[in-house]
Amino acid sequence: MTEQEIDVEKYKKIILNEDLDKTELAHEPKSALVENKELELEPVNSEKELISVQKDRNLYKQCVLICKTEAVPQCYRNKPELTYSALKLLEGLGAKGIQFLQKVAPINGNLAIWGEFPLTLVRNSGKLVFFDEYLINKDYKRISLENHNLADEIFASVCVVQRVGETKRTFTYLLEDAKKIPNFTRMSNIWKPYLKAMLKYKARALALKDVFSDILMGIRISEYDDHQTLDHKITIEKQKPKEITFDKKEA
């Protein structure tokens, strides 16, 4: 067993062993969980740090239990480490609770939020004064029931936001911009049935990422950064096809 593997096992004991006390934790050597020496974990030297370690330990234990159930999305089943990472990300955004796992998913190797969740975070911050979004036709006229033009071809989506102490800002996303996305034609199964929603989410993500970057903290938004919408019925991670073998019949 290498020195790094030994340190990993010691760190696991810190997280999972209920019998460890403050004295034992204080003398725990630095961890070599990461290759970069500058990022090594410091030993626990205070009551505050001890409480933090205990909370992480309990959270991981919860992840081990819940990831075995159908209460979590498919992408978290039997993956306690991934579940733990997602919950810690949500905790940093101020959204504590297993229910929020429905709104974060691993996509292309990164955790991303999706749907109405980014707007929910911004609304809960209390810094959103005004919000409006709509679709326009090629004449730059709003597509709405009042304008009797619901059948008009969509030209772009518009999102207008205002932050406390600032003026209103308008963001747009054209349908032509969407068609320039690499492999756009291959994603027709996503864009074709959800065209209005995807265009709306694109303009919204631009607005929220720009005006409320301190609240979203650079977290990826799936509809904008990965060009897809999620309903947890879509396969998020590619799986290797199973090999099919045939038994040879005896002659």
Instruction: Quote the tokens at residue 9.
Output: 């096992």
- Tell me 131's DSSP state: E
Instruction: List the strands of the sheet with 156-163, edge to edge.
Output: 128-136, 156-163, 169-174
Q: Are the C-beta atoms of residues 60 and 18 closer than 8 Å to each other?
A: no
Q: Are the C-beta atoms of residues 235 and 75 closer than 8 Å to each other?
A: no
Each residue of 204-249: pLDDT tens digit? 999 999 999 999 988 999 888 876 555 433 333 444 544 555 555 5
Confidence of residue 19 (pLDDT cuts 50, 70, 90): very low
Each residue of 126-141: pLDDT tens digit? 999 999 999 999 999 9
Q: How far apart are CA 142 and CA 112, in angstroms?
A: 31
Question: Is the pLDDT assigned to residue 76 strictly greater than 70?
Answer: yes
Confidence of residue 36 (pLDDT cuts 50, 70, 90): very low
Q: How far apart are CA 32 and CA 10, in angstroms?
A: 10
- Tell me 190's DSSP state: H
pTM listed for this prediction: 0.68
More confident residue, 209 or 43: 209
